Amino acid sequence: MKIPVTGFVIDSGDQDAHHSHKLYITSWNGNPVHVHAFSGVTSVDDGHSHEYASWTAPAPTGVPHVHVYYTVTSLNQGHTHLIQGTTGPAIELPGGGHYHRFEGYTSINGRNPHSHAYSGRTGNEAGR
C-alpha cells in the first residue's frame, strides 16, 4: 500500500561529504500535518536534573494519531541524556486543537550511570 506524501527538502549548505538535509512533510495521505512543541525538566537523580525542549515529528491532522519525539537534554554535571518515545493519543481542547501526554525515562549516562524520569504534555498543535 502506498501513502501519498508531500513536502520539501532543505539543504543544510554544508560543503563536506557528510552534509545533511532537513525533510519537511506537509501532507500525509491527503491530510495536512502538524507538530507539537514539548519541554520540561527531568526528575532529580544523582543530585541533579536536566532541561529539555524540542518539537515532535509530524503527524496527520484530523485523524486519530500519535507523535514520535526525540531530543537531547541540557548538559549538566558533564553529561546529557537522550529522550525519545511516542506520545499518547490526542486529547481534545475545549476551544479547539489538542495536546498529547508523554512520559518515560532518559538514556543512562553520567559519571555515576543513571537515568531520569520525565513526563508532560505537548503544546497545542502547530502547522509546520
42-56 residue pLDDT tens? 999 999 999 999 999
**CA gap 53, 70 in Å, rounded:** 9
Phi/psi region, residue 12 (left: phi>0; alpha: psi -120 to 50; beta: rest), is alpha
Helix (H, G, I), strand (E, B) or coil at 7: strand
Q: What is the pTM of this model?
A: 0.76
What are the two backbone dihedrals, phi and then psi, of residue 93, each rounded to the nearest 5 degrees? -100, 145
Tell me the per-residue pLDDT of 82-117, one tens digit each, with 9 for 90 and over: 999 999 999 999 988 899 999 999 999 999 999 999
Residue with cell 520525565: 118
How many percent of the chain have pLDDT more than 70?
80
